[in-house]
Amino acid sequence: MIVSHKHKFIFIKNQKTAGTAVEIALSQFCGPDDIITPIFSRDESTRNKLGYPGPQNYYVPLSKYFPSDIWRLVRYRRRKHYRTHAWATEIQSYLDSEVWETYFKFCFERNPWDRVVSGYYWKYRTEDRPPISDYVQSGQMNELKGYDLYTEKSEIVVDRVFRYEDMPNALREIGKILDLPKPIILPVANSGFRPKECHYRDILSDADRKKNRHYVCA
């Protein structure tokens, strides 16, 4: 998740939508006052090798704490922080209203069946994985964070939901909207677990597809 005061945008990071790669790529445009949340160590290594800014300013200011946050701070001595997969409404509660209302807020969404297959191979990375129907029918697929992150009461609360499947065009459009100084080029991140030839049509049954939750692209 990124909040860039320098370029006035808020990137909300869904799961299994190349979010880590997008986050790394956007980091290069961030200034010292921008908020960047931590990612997995191997991906932080990639970001570091590229020379892009890493995690910074991701602790929530005490001025934004609710009474329950103060209690947890005193009780557990843990600062509240922006999460990498934070809900849009959660982010909004931490920011000044002017920032939330004027910054360009966006995320990516993916074909829901393809997203489930990606999530399955991410969770079960070795050959002794259970059948994908077990993963779907048990409801484990709903552990993936997506639709709920950028909606409130089923209403989209971000400015744009770009399609994962149209990533190159989406990145060009984002670059133009934000007036970035150079193109957004994605590094390789969080990949390599799903067989390249594996298409959701080949492994999801009709029952599996009907079980899936509804996701929206706008």
Q: From the centroid of its chain, how far is CA 93?
A: 18
**In whole angstroms, how far apart are CA 11 and each of 4, 78, 167?**
8, 25, 15
- Which stretches of the chain drop beneath a pLDDT of 50? 214-218
Give pLDDT, residue 191.
Answer: 61
The SS3 of residue 158 is coil
CA distance 135 to 141: 6
Give pLDDT, residue 195.
Answer: 66
Domain extents for the chain? 2-211
User: Do 14 and 85 meet the contact criterion of CB atoms below 8 Å apart?
Assistant: yes
Query: Looking at the DSSP assignment, which residues form a beta bridge with residue 56?
Result: 36
Kindly give, in sequence order, each residue whose CB lies less than 8 Å from that of residue 62, ignoring residues fewer than 6 positions away. Answer: none
The encoded tokens of residue 15 equal: 């799961």
Give pLDDT, residue 124.
Answer: 85
Give pLDDT, residue 131.
Answer: 84
